[in-house]
């Protein structure tokens, strides 16, 4: 391998590292902005209030339960 090819490879690597770091930083910045928006606008609470809670209410309202009023009351006979 000649000296120029080695220099070209090291130059390519030198350009690759800042590009990768730039992309990682951009992804992390976007993630940070998204999480900040969720916190600032209370989007998790709104999701729970408008989506999750109605689903849970509907589920538990339809659930079959035993009626304690239908169970006969038996008095203990004292001996």
Tens-place pLDDT, residues 27-64: 999 999 999 999 999 999 999 999 999 999 999 999 99
CA distances from 31 to 11, 19, 36, 52 (A): 31, 18, 8, 24
Show Cβ contacts of residue 37 under 8 Å, excluding neighbours closer than 6 positions.
Answer: 43
Percent of the chain with pLDDT over 70: 90
pLDDT at position 1 over 60:
no
Structure confidence by residue, pLDDT tens digits, 4-36:
777 777 778 778 888 999 999 999 999 999 999
> How many angstroms from the chain centroid is the CA of residue 64?
31
Helices (H), the chain: 3-40, 43-47, 53-62
Q: Domain extents for the chain?
A: 3-62
- In this prediction, residue 14 carries a pLDDT of 78
Token pair recorded at residue 59: 């589920």
Residue 59: how many other CB atoms lie within 10 Å: 9
């Amino acid at each position: 391998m000649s000296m120029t090819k080695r220099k070209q490879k090291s130059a390519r690597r030198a350009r690759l590292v800042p590009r990768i770091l730039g992309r990682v930083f951009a992804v992390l910045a976007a993630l940070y902005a998204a999480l900040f928006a969720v916190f600032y606008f209370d989007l998790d609470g709104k999701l729970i209030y408008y989506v999750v809670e109605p689903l849970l209410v509907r589920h538990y309202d339809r659930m079959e339960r035993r009626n304690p009023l239908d169970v006969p009351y038996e008095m203990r006979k004292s001996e």
